[in-house]
Structure 1
Amino acid sequence: MSAPRYPPTRRDSLIEHQFGEDLADPYRWLEADVRSSPEVATWVQQQNAASSAYLAELPGRNALREKIRSLFAYERFSLPRKAGGRYFYTRNSGLQNQAVLQVREGLGGTGRVLVDPNNWSTETGEGLRTLDAWVPSPAGRLVALTQQRDGSDWRTIRLVDVNTGAMLADRLEWANDTAIGWVGDGGFLYARYPAPPEGEAYRAPVYDKAIWYHRVGTPQSADVKVFATPDHRDWNHRLAVSSDGRWAVIISSASTLPRRTVHVIPLVRGRLAAGAQDWPALPIAAEMTDDWKFIEGIGDQLWFITNAGAPHYRLVRVNLDRQQPGQFSINTVIDERLDTLDAGRIVGRRLILSYLQQGASYAVVTDLNGHPQRAITVDAIGSASGFGGRPGDPETFYQFSSFNQPPSIFRLDTRTGKATPFAVPRLSFNPDDYVVEQRTFPSKDGTKVPMYVVRKRSLASSGAAAPTLLYGYGGFDVALTPGYSPVRMAWLEAGGVFALANIRGGGEFGRAWYDAGRLANKQNSFDDFIAAGEYLIKEGIAAKGGLAIQGGSNGGMLVAAVINQRPDLFAAANPDVGVMDMLRFDRFTSGRFWVDDYGSPAREADWRVLRAYSPYHNIRPRAEYPAILVTTADTDDRVVPAHSFKYVAALQAADLGARPHLLRVEAQAGHGPGKPVDKVIASGADVLAFLAKWTGLPLE
């Protein structure tokens, strides 16, 4: 199967002069919103028609779709949250497009359906609505939930009466990247932006985010603005309320760099706010120099994780004085250690802290003064996470997951340390049939980089090479840890190898590892990923001519960049929702937040670094490129689909050999979260069948 005939793409003669260089941008017209531009909409339809026709002919695609469907067909639960003696959690019976929110009266009660988003109608013209976040009120009488539409990052907040299951009239629009902090049961804090300009909701940059208070039963127009930074219109704000309702904590950032300010607001449980003057914000960390992660509060003491003076983070306690507002002290509870302190909770009278070690996570239980009590250990390579709860609770819930193990949920008695299963999935395969290894390989500059390798035990024992799918991210201080995916498991079941490289730029090893893969050091991320591929082939794990690569978002950019640099190394690639035009990324939606990771295209030194690896600008004509399936979605307002549109147009216009370079655009979907199960199955089958075809993985 060679490349299909690509649809025609208009090429404009647009040339801009930047920092002494004439730079062509012939496909800028594809930046127009697909909803408002008939020309772009037609182009997308033609591209989808071409890729659909090609993908439909791939051998084994239909069988692969059914295999993925069977691997999704197991009962799964979210971590329970306790409020007022009730337990709230989501449950998916297996193949439901969305998990259903349920409530249980007491731990031994029977779950009943509270919200079933699968029944939300799309006939109102609101698009495909999905359930995103949900937070019960302290007494468990109400649940605030956020609805996502067509995969967008915009959220609508609704309220549900737990006793009746009825949706209240309250409706709050234009929330984005918000938490919900209940102030008693009568109202809550949330974050939102002003309404965007008409027709610009999915592409315009966003400014002027603020924290608002909503009183239950009132219209959004009556909400009270609690916190804003008009002198810093570009700042992002997130909030949390301590479990005892005494403090609201507002953490602000200006970019994806781990630097934040912290302000706290004293609360009175159940108080109804009359105006902004009732909400004095006291600075705890007024300068945006360090990272701060709020854990919990008890009385006038607040616990935080911070990297102030500790690149691998430490645990501190802030002691506040209500009698003298603005007066506080900070004490170290647990000093920095070699492993990175990633998260924490207070449950009962215990601290439960999560650490990252070699790209995996483990948990430690201490008392409130940080004295070690016990480690929560699992005799397998994987990740233990969750540990939800609040001070005074005698229990917490956590989950364990790995590449070959879907999440199993356990209840931990914080007094005795005994863990009992809460929800363990029944599987159609035996996890013991697969082996998970962690290896280390040298990068171009000699840096040792860890990588997970997953394959059938029989394949590992034989030592035979096999088609291999290599995944990476390497950015924004994000740590990739072991986790389960039915789509990846279908690749493994077919006899393929899956590898995940913890390259520089990620958050697996603290600040130094992150800094080594950002700004002028970004090439290290690419070198690490290329070295991972070379290692897999050299060690006889990946078959020669059988290496595929995949990554999403920043990882999509990673995949596209290394293709330009080493097209000979890879047989196939799937750059998903990638940032492809590195010279204009800051002009759309939240792109301006990324300048501390990538650099600013407005600064010459940064521009030259970006120009050197920008996927859209560095395609190599007449080089033999691997088969490429670019995937994106029409409502992706985090990395706008124009990035993928322009990149594919440039690929198809260049002479890159006979292998196909196709675009698949998902309708009514966004950057990834909230995608219905049927769409995940369909896209997963398309992508894996494409990669299998060009790596030689037999599917039939």
Structure 2
Amino acid sequence: MSQQLPAAEAADDPYLWLEGVTDSQALEWVKQRNAESEQAIAAGAEFKALERDLKAILDSDAKIPYVQKMGEHYYNFWKDQKHQRGLWRRTTLAEYRKDSPQWEVLIDLDALNKAEGENWVWHGADCLKPDYTRCLISLSRGGADADVTREFDSGKKEWIKDGFFRPEAKGGLGWIDQDRVYVYTDFGPGSLTSSGYPRQVKEWRRGTPMSEAKLVYEGLESDLYIAAGHDDTPGFERDYVSRALAFYNNELYLRQGEGLVKIEAPNSANKSIHREWLLLELREPWEVGGKQWQPGSLLATKLDSFLAGKRDFDALFEPSETTSLDGFSATRHHLLLNVMDDVKNRLFVLTPGADGWAREPLKGAPSVGRLSATAVDPDHSDAYFLTVSDFITPTRLMLGAVGEAPQQLKALPSFFDATGLQVSQHFATSKDGTRVPYFQVASKDLPLNGRHPTLLYGYGGFEVSLTPSYSASAGRGWLSRGGVYVIANIRGGGEYGPRWHQAALKQNRLRAYEDFAAVAQDLIDRKVTGKAHLGIQGGSNGGLLVGNMVTLYPDLFEAAVCQVPLLDMKRYNKLLAGASWMAEYGDPDKSEEWDFIRHFSPYHNVEPGQDYPAMLFTTSTRDDRVHPGHARKMMARMMEQGHEVLYYENIEGGHGGAADNSQAAHMQALAYAFLWQRLAPKTEETAP
């Protein structure tokens, strides 16, 4: 629900009432808008066929069942046609290698919902080493971020009576040992940050009420998130407290007895500890130990030496103009390093030795596609899972060990016919001269006539990188119909490391939108498409991107899909988790910051009489991260002004927009059908 406003401010926002998430008047308005969208988009047989095909893809038994190794078993959460909410299950490696493994079902979420009269959505499992019998299961009502945690016995396949239970809230529960957990949650008044996340973490002992849990650390109300965890690596057992002041602004503490020892590294650095090693991923320049390290570098040192005051680091990675760190994963004896070079992955193995860290390419890793390597069991082995994907090649899952070539375990089938398609990378020039990459998926012999329906997708925020991946839904919903699909790697993302993200923060936010406009213009200049056939799509921060592209560059696009968006940047920090994003966008309550924020607040910049692209807004009533009021109010304002707009709000789904495959298929079909209706060439354009 919205915060009570002064009368003057409320008068400036006639649609404030739509912020009442479950208010009956607001929900009746939603119901009317949904019916209008269903009639406009989903009434025909063509839509039903698309929705059916998309659901069949989501329900397919041929999907890759990704697994997590815990003990001797490999665990998987699985959804299909018969199990819409899903199964938590496990198998052995020998079985997993088979085309049709035998699975042992531990929790049937559909059956649980039926028995309890609930609408639980799976949020994850945390099982206690070494036997992994005691598990903390997180479940969300309708897919919201807020969830409950319940204790489960995986051996007996039953919920533990009087076991650990955390009531519904944003937060978590994590093992220390069989009789103790860390709990960070809503403990009552004063226990949450202004963003709605935990500001206290406590140690809770079995058999006692949560209200008697012992306080370990309390942050400030202005902080983002407080949490704690236990590292049970044999021989390196440690306890940590993490204090996130904001995104990319955090402190890490080692818990020693009743006290805390701070890791004295920059707050902006990502900090992690593996066995004896402290790893720091820098986001700002750092002068230490007589050396100057640049942002984007990954440094390593012995933790004990660091705590003793030494500041000698090995550089495991240093960026260049075209390279950035895409991630790393520690095995028992090595570090798997994932590097992006112009948004293309390269994998390396780093091995510590007496003379520093040796580096070599990961043996047998493919040279093309989106690559991701993750350790299977970092406590005991150097095995890793390797995922290989691109836009038109079905994803493959491989199993390897350092020093040996990986072998394929699983592969997706071809969910759409990619014959004749090719992936190409291009570079546009932004307003300030910056080189902006983008990927294009289109027919190899695409005639450059400016008439191809083209879907341009972007995000541009929070250092999130958009990389090539196989999307069966985009393939069926767009590419197989002859559309061109484009991903823009604009500033604000992480494609070139921290500098790419920081270039579009706060007062520089418009650079992300200038980049996106440059990609759109390049597509038009290259005659891939034209304004009449160019559509855009984005969600969350990408929804803010879409809102701004429509209001700032209305002449570039014909249609836009704006999903679970931020749009009212005057009030975003007062709605749900919005206050946690002020490091990204700025504080609209400060007049000097609102002076620049207002330029990228679509809700305040949309005008009557302007010819805007046709728009479809989608969101979820159960989204407790980005308030549905953003989309509701923007829709109401644009509708009042007479623009061509449609709106669809799914009741469940949280920030993901859908709680099961049926809902996801419907939401996807609405987006693709809406865009195709407006972007496909008309008969007279295709006539000889």
Class of the TM-score when normalised by the shorter of the 2 chains: 0.7 to 0.9
| 1:284 paired to 2:263 | yes
Q: What is the deviation of 1:173?
A: 2.3
Partner SS for 2:246:
coil
Percent identity of the aligned residues?
25
Distance 2:481 2:51 in 1: 12
1:248 aligns with 239
**Matches of residues 676-695 of structure 1 in structure 2 within 5 Å?**
676-695=660-679
Write the mapping of 1:300-379 to structure 2, written as runs, cut at 5 A. 300-307=276-283, 308=286, 309-320=293-304, 327-333=308-314, 334-338=316-320, 339-368=323-352, 369-375=356-362, 377-379=365-367
1:380 corresponds to 2:368 = yes
Q: Supply the AA of the counterpart residue of 1:484.
A: Y
Q: Distance in 1 between matches of 2:418 and 2:299?
A: 36
Change (3 A) 1:239 1:208: closer
> In structure 1, the residue corresponding to 2:160 is in which secondary structure?
strand
1:442-521 pair list within 5 angstroms: 442-457=429-444, 459-460=445-446, 465-490=451-476, 491-521=478-508
Q: Distance in 2 between matches of 1:432 and 1:221?
A: 61
**Among residues 623, 639, 642, which one is paired with 2:629 in the alignment?**
642
Deviation larger for 153-162 or 426-435? 426-435
Shift in Å, 1:285: 2.9
Counterparts in 2 of 1:331 and 1:232: CA distance versus 1, 3 Å = farther
Q: Report the Cα distance in structure 2 between the residues aligned to 1:551 and 1:498, rounded to whole angstroms.
A: 13
What is the SS of the residue equivalent to 1:42?
Answer: helix
| RMSD, matched Cα | 3.0
Q: Following the alignment from structure 1 to structure 2, what is the Cα–Cα distance between the partners of residues 279 and 76?
A: 48
The alignment partner of 1:542 has SS state of coil
CA contact under 8 A between 2:464 and 2:494: conserved in structure 1? yes
CA–CA distance in 2 between the matches of 1:691 and 1:177?
38
Cα offsets for 1:521-553 (capped at 9, x unmatched): 111111111111111122122244111100001
1:40-95 per-residue CA deviation (whole Å, 9 max, x = no partner) reads 12211222222222223357211211232343324334543222222222344577
Q: For the residues of structure 2 that align with 1:492 and 1:676, how far apart are their CA atoms? A: 24
Asked whether the 8 Å contact 2:438–2:489 carries over to 1, the reply is: yes
Q: In the superposition, relative to structure 1, how do residues 315 and 614 fare at CA in structure 2: closer, same or farther (>3 Å)? A: same
Query: CA–CA distance in 2 between the matches of 1:681 and 1:510?
Result: 34
Find out whether 1:183 has 2:165 as its counterpart: no
Shift of residue 364, structure 1, vs aligned partner: 1.5
Asked if the contact 1:349/1:392 (under 8 Å) is kept, the reply is no
Deviation string, structure 1 residues 406-428 (Cα, Å, up to 9, x no partner) = 442211112x3221122222334
User: Separation in 2 of the partners of 1:580 and 1:303?
Assistant: 37
Residue type of the partner of 1:662? Answer: L
Contact persistence 2:279–2:298 (CA under 8 A): no
2:151 is aligned, of 159, 173, 196, to 159
Q: One-letter code of the match for 1:189?
A: Y
Work out whether 1:136 is the aligned partner of 2:136.
no
Q: From the superposition, tell whether residues 66 and 636 of structure 1 become closer, same or farther in structure 2 (CA, over 3 Å).
A: same
Partner Cα separation in structure 2 for residue 74 and residue 595 of structure 1: 42
Q: Are residues 118 and 489 of structure 1, via their aligned partners in 2, closer, same or farther at CA, if it must alter by over 3 Å?
A: farther
Q: Which residue of 1 aligns with 2:200?
A: 210
Residue of structure 1 equivalent to 2:680: 696
Q: Indicate yes or no: 2:271 matched with 1:293.
A: yes
Q: Secondary structure at the match of 2:313?
A: strand
Matches within 5 A, 1:571-582: 571-582=558-569
2:14 is the alignment partner of 1:26? yes
| Residues 126-163 of structure 1: CA deviation (Å, up to 9, x unaligned) | 4x211112223222223322112112111211222121
Q: Partner of 2:290 in structure 1?
A: none
1:220 maps to what in 2? 210
Q: Tell me how far 1:96 sits from its aligned partner.
A: 4.2
The answer as to whether partners of 2:375 and 2:383 remain within 8 angstroms in 1 is no
Q: Which residue of 1 aligns with 2:536?
A: 549
TM-score (norm 1): 0.86
Query: How far has the Cα of 1:465 moved from its partner?
Result: 4.4
CA contact (8 A) 2:422 2:443 kept: yes
Q: Describe the SS at the equivalent of 2:369.
A: coil
Residue type of the partner of 2:184? A
Secondary structure at the counterpart of residue 590 of structure 1: helix
Q: Find the counterpart in structure 1 of residue 104 from structure 2.
A: 112
- 1:345/1:379 CA distance change after superposition, 3 Å: closer
Q: Quick one: structure 1 residues 599 and 92, their matched pair in 2 at CA, closer, same or farther if it must change by over 3 Å?
A: same
Q: 1:409 aligns with which of 397, 408, 411?
A: 397
SS at match of 1:365: strand
Report the CA distance between 1:608 and its aligned residue: 1.1
Could you give the per-residue CA deviations for residues 159-192 of structure 1, whole angstroms, max 9, x where no partner exists? 22121211223321245364x6433444443532
SS at match of 2:461: coil
Cα 1:315–1:326 shift into 2, 3 Å: closer
Q: 1:262 aligns with which of 232, 252, 258?
A: 252
Q: Is the 8 A contact 1:156 1:172 kept in 2?
A: yes
Q: Would the alpha carbon gap of residues 221 and 423 (structure 1) be closer, same or farther in structure 2, given more than 3 Å must change? A: farther
Letter aligned with residue 255 of structure 1 = A
Task: List alignment gaps of at least 5 residues for structure 2.
Answer: 97-101, 287-292, 684-688
1:654 is aligned, of 641, 652, 673, to: 641
1:365 is displaced (CA, Å) by: 1.1
Who is 1:148 aligned against? Answer: 140
SS in 1 for 2:264: strand
- The amino acid across from 1:141 in the alignment is T
Question: Offset of 1:248 from its aligned partner?
Answer: 2.3
Q: Which residue of 2 aligns with 1:560?
A: 547
State the distance in 2 between where 1:347 and 1:637 align: 36
Q: Determine if the alignment matches structure 1 residue 57 to structure 2 residue 19.
A: no
Looking at structure 2, the residues matched to 218 and 697 of structure 1 have their Cα atoms a distance apart, in angstroms, of 67
Q: Deviations over 1:83-117 (max 9, x none)?
A: 22222223445774344322224545743112222
Which whole-Å CA distance do the structure 1 matches of 2:440 and 2:244 have between them?
36
Q: Match of 2:25, SS?
A: helix
Q: 2:99 aligns to what?
A: none
- Cα deviation, residue 124, structure 1: 4.2
Bigger Cα displacement from structure 2, 516-525 vs 308-317:
308-317
Contact conserved, 2:345 with 2:368, CA < 8 A, in 1?
no
Q: 1:29 to 1:90 in 2, by over 3 A?
A: closer
Distance 1:60-1:108 versus aligned 2 partners, 3 A rule: closer
Shift of residue 492 of structure 1? 0.8
Match in the other structure for 1:270: none
Q: 1:590 to 1:544 in 2, by over 3 A?
A: closer
Contact preservation (8 Å) 1:77, 1:91:
no
Residues in 1 aligned to 2:529 and 2:572: alpha-carbon distance in whole angstroms: 34
- Separation in 1, partners of 2:263, 2:147: 29
- Evaluate the alpha carbon distance shift between residue 329 and residue 248 of structure 1 in structure 2; reply closer, same or farther with a 3 A threshold: farther
Distance (Å, rounded) in 2 between the aligned partners of 1:396 and 1:370 = 20
> Unaligned regions of 5+ residues in structure 1, if any?
1-11, 18-22, 267-277
* 1:613 alignment counterpart: 600
CA shift in 2, pair 1:94/1:500, >3 Å? farther
Residue 393 of structure 1 pairs with residue 386 of structure 2:
no
